[in-house]
Amino acid sequence: MYLKSLEDTRTLAQRLAQTLPHGALVLLTGPMGAGKTTLVKFIAEALGFQGEVTSPTYTLIHEYPTPGGLVVHMDAYRMADQEALYHLGLEDYRPEARLVLIEWGRPEVFPDSLEVRLTPGETGRRVEFFAHGRAFFPKI
């Protein structure tokens, strides 16, 4: 899939928000500036969040309340040991969260996840999807 504009990114976010099951763990990967936080912003908006969405690089976790449940936004960029996210309460969030979105998450650390890989190009961004672990993403 290739996103040529912010509107394309918003459309993808709306589709993901409608399709992903409650409690899904989504890893957002790609280089700096690929659009990971922008995609999170549009997903949170599609689920009804009306506040500001920013990268949790320094705070590690942001929470966005939506009518359908909490959207949890984590950033693993500065974490040498990404398993430490489990110690920050990742598993406590999952049953209650509408979605858990982790920027820079590695599939080998989070095996039951959907990886959304964003790669910037000259005229937009390429998006690739990889289901890791249980295959509960048949609609994407």
Region 69-76 average pLDDT: 92
The residue ranges of every structural domain in the chain are 22-120
Angle, helices 6-19/36-46, rounded to nearest 10 degrees: 60
Residue 80 — very low, low, confident or very high, per pLDDT cuts 50/70/90? low
d(CA 40, CA 71): 9
What is the token pair recorded at 68?
């359908």
Tell the CATH topology of 22-120: Rossmann fold (3.40.50)
Q: What pLDDT digit, counting tens, does each position of 85-94 carry?
A: 666 666 666 6
Tell me what the mean pLDDT of segment 50-73 comes to.
Answer: 92
Q: Could you tell me the pTM of the whole model? A: 0.88
Q: Which two tokens stand for residue 3?
A: 């996103």
pLDDT tens across 18-34, in order? 999 998 999 999 999 99
Instruction: Write out the E strands in 12-107.
Output: 24-29, 61-66, 69-75, 97-103
Two tokens, residue 75: 């950033």
